[in-house]
Chains A and B, each alone.
Chain A
Amino acid sequence: MSDMMNDEPLLRVSEITKLYGNRIGCQNVDFELWPGEVLAVVGESGSGKSTLLNCLSTRLEPTSGMIEYRMRDGVFRNLYKLTEAERRLLMRTDWGFVHQNPADGLRLAVSAGANVGERLMAVGQRHYGQIRDTATDWLERVEIAADRIDDNPRAFSGGMRQRLQIARNLVTHPRLIFMDEPTGGLDVSVQARLLDMLRRLVADLGLAVIIVTHDLAVARLLSHRIVVMRHGNVIETGLTDQVLDDPREPYTQLLVSSILQV
């Protein structure tokens, strides 16, 4: 964290707008993301969180605005000016995308080991033994027993599938991970385990993360900064503690006061 001050941002987002016909998906979104920083995007359903995430991760071209990413060579590139080959390479090496539904991010027809190994082969690894060793290592890091490596993810529980999806994303040592409601749809004890694991991995690997969630407790636990969205606009942004402890906008005050206390 201390060297965070000297770094250049990893991602620069300027004036991103996405319109669906006349309807606003998201509008005039501006922010920068630094290495090692976890940014939570919160807001209710339909607030534009997922539209923004899809624009940022090159899955949905914005109507206007610019997104620049600092490549490993230190040069900022406009994401929507990359060639298709460059974009694909970026997505399978330097980036990860954790979907809410693990089935969207995994290949259910192949084994757990192959799901992890596939990303390694995509970056040029060919030695079967090494790929298998790395895959085993990653399964253990996400707390999946090594003897499940040849099992099909269809035989895994929801929580295990989600952890497998995370291992698949992290195996190439990405610098930026996008997460779309990663704990949604899991029961609470499984959520707690996943959150603790994510928190640890993010800190150990120094990952930058953009996480979309409607769960403010998840944002509190994982994120450094929060962006609050409503009707496609960013209405409040700041340090996570500050936005949650001293919310300024009426809508943010409503969100924070609606949390159930346990």
Chain B
Amino acid sequence: MTKRLSLKSVGKSFQMHLQGGLTLPVVTNVELEVFSGECVVLGGPSGAGKSSILKMIYGNYRCDEGQILIATGENGETVLDIAKAEPRRMLSLRSNTIGYVSQFLRVIPRVSAEDVVAEPLIAQGADEKTAVNKARDLLTRLNVPNRLWTLPPATFSGGEQQRVNIARGFITNYPMLLLDEPTASLDAANRAVVVELVEEKKASGVAMLGILHDLDVRERIADRIVDVTNFKQAA
């Protein structure tokens, strides 16, 4: 198994200038490894820093301390440090190595649901027809009614938007996926679909790191659970 991701002594804090320069420590000394074909779940209560860890890996948050090493390329032959990656490098990692599945859809005006879903696969070089077919297939599996496919998701219900976003996250062929509560507020049938999608990704060797609050889902897909409260600064 290839080691896909490893975090070494990673630390993060926020300085809030609008609150008189208050410093909020988030996590410190995070040590974590994810291998291809496994799903590691971050555990711990709200506010423990789980999302911050995912956002540092995806480059939305800066990483103040330590290293975030990601193996890219076909067999993970090139190892890059995300903590020091320049913006262009991070963008290329996002287009070919790391995907992010979240529950919140950032709606783009006028773009239809099926195109929203197909877009990341097209960006990876698939032709439009293949991508749209795969998008429709995923939308079907996630029970998004097909009368909605050609409409922009801005007016969809919260659950429908979430499922569109899940389809968008799973359509791609990234070797590393970050799952930010993809099953939150889904019904049982759709949760089961997400579990299936995760199993398929595992089987094809994708490394996954996720936040999952649903105990039943977590039990079914997590190979290991890492407790984030271990990474709190000693008080």
Footprint of B on A, CB under 8 Å?
A: 1-2, 4-5, 34, 37, 192-193, 195-196, 199, 221, 224-225, 238-239, 241-242, 245-246, 248-250, 253-254, 257
Asked if B224 is an interface residue, CB under 8 A from chain A, the answer is no
Q: Which of A192, A224, A245, A248 contacts B15 (CB 8 A)?
A: A248
Determine the residue in chain A with the shortest Cβ distance to B62: A246
Q: Collect the chain B residues with CB atoms within 8 Å of residue A257's CB.
A: 18
Asked if B89 is an interface residue, CB under 8 A from chain A, the answer is yes
Determine the residue in chain B with the shortest Cβ distance to A34: B88
Q: How far is the CA of A241 from the CA of B62 in the complex (A)?
A: 10
B27-72, CB < 8 A from A: 55, 59-62
Footprint of A on B, CB under 8 Å?
A: 14-18, 55, 59-62, 87-92, 95-96, 108-111, 123
Q: Collect the chain B residues with CB atoms within 8 Å of residue A241's CB.
A: 59-60
Determine the residue in chain A with the shortest Cβ distance to B124: A2
B108 to chain A, nearest CB (A): 7
Q: Which of B62, B95, B111 contacts A196 (CB 8 A)?
A: B111
Nearest 6 CB-CB pairs, A to B? Answer: A250-B17, A192-B109, A239-B87, A246-B61, A1-B95, A196-B110
Question: Is B55's CB under 8 angstroms from A239's CB?
Answer: no
The answer to whether residues A242 and B92 also contact, given A196-B111, A248-B15 and a CB cut-off of 8 A, is no
Question: Is A225's CB under 8 angstroms from B18's CB?
Answer: no
Extra pairs beyond A242-B60, A250-B18 (12, CB < 8 Å): A1-B95, A2-B92, A192-B109, A193-B110, A195-B109, A224-B88, A238-B62, A239-B90, A241-B60, A245-B61, A246-B14, A253-B18
Q: How far is the CA of A37 from the CA of B88 in the complex (A)?
A: 9
Q: Collect the chain A residues with CB atoms within 8 Å of residue B88's CB.
A: 4-5, 34, 37, 224
Question: Is A239's CB under 8 angstroms from B110's CB?
Answer: no
B11 to chain A, nearest CB (A): 14
Q: Which of A2, A193, A248, A253 contacts B95 (CB 8 A)?
A: A2
Question: Is A4's CB under 8 angstroms from B60's CB?
Answer: no
Question: Is B18's CB under 8 angstroms from A245's CB?
Answer: no
A242 to chain B, nearest CB (A): 6
A50 to chain B, nearest CB (A): 23
A244 to chain B, nearest CB (A): 9
Q: How far is the CA of A101 from the CA of B32 in the complex (A)?
A: 52
Q: How far is the CA of A5 from the CA of B95 in the complex (A)?
A: 12
A86 to chain B, nearest CB (A): 29
Of the candidates B91, B92, B95, the one having the most CB atoms from chain A within 10 angstroms of its own CB is B91
Question: Is B18's CB under 8 angstroms from A199's CB?
Answer: no
The answer to whether residues A1 and B111 also contact, given A239-B59, A241-B59 and a CB cut-off of 8 A, is no
The answer to whether residues A246 and B92 also contact, given A193-B109, A193-B110 and a CB cut-off of 8 A, is no
Q: Which of A1, A4, A199, A248 contacts B123 (CB 8 A)?
A: A1
Q: How far is the CA of A253 from the CA of B24 in the complex (A)?
A: 15
Q: How far is the CA of A134 from the CA of B98 in the complex (A)?
A: 40
The answer to whether residues A253 and B60 also contact, given A196-B111, A239-B91 and a CB cut-off of 8 A, is no
Q: Collect the chain A residues with CB atoms within 8 Å of residue B60's CB.
A: 241-242, 245-246
Q: How far is the CA of A4 from the CA of B59 in the complex (A)?
A: 18
Q: How far is the CA of A254 from the CA of B90 in the complex (A)?
A: 26
Determine the residue in chain B with the shortest Cβ distance to A252: B17
Question: Is B62's CB under 8 angstroms from A242's CB?
Answer: yes
Question: Is B55's CB under 8 angstroms from A245's CB?
Answer: yes
B176 to chain A, nearest CB (A): 16
Interchain residue pairs with CB less than 8 A apart (18): A1-B91, A4-B92, A5-B89, A192-B109, A193-B109, A196-B110, A199-B108, A224-B91, A238-B87, A241-B59, A241-B60, A242-B59, A242-B61, A246-B14, A246-B61, A246-B62, A250-B18, A257-B18
Of the candidates A34, A192, A225, A246, the one having the most CB atoms from chain B within 10 angstroms of its own CB is A246
Of the candidates B16, B95, B110, the one having the most CB atoms from chain A within 10 angstroms of its own CB is B110
A162 to chain B, nearest CB (A): 15
Q: How far is the CA of A238 from the CA of B91 in the complex (A)?
A: 11
Question: Is B62's CB under 8 angstroms from A254's CB?
Answer: no
Q: How far is the CA of A238 from the CA of B63 in the complex (A)?
A: 13
The answer to whether residues A248 and B62 also contact, given A253-B16, A254-B18 and a CB cut-off of 8 A, is yes
Q: How far is the CA of A5 from the CA of B16 in the complex (A)?
A: 34
Q: Which of B62, B87, B110 contacts A192 (CB 8 A)?
A: B110
Q: How far is the CA of A195 from the CA of B152 in the complex (A)?
A: 15
Q: Collect the chain B residues with CB atoms within 8 Å of residue A242's CB.
A: 59-62, 87
Q: Which of A2, A34, A192, A238 contacts B96 (CB 8 A)?
A: A2
Q: Collect the chain A residues with CB atoms within 8 Å of residue B95's CB.
A: 1-2
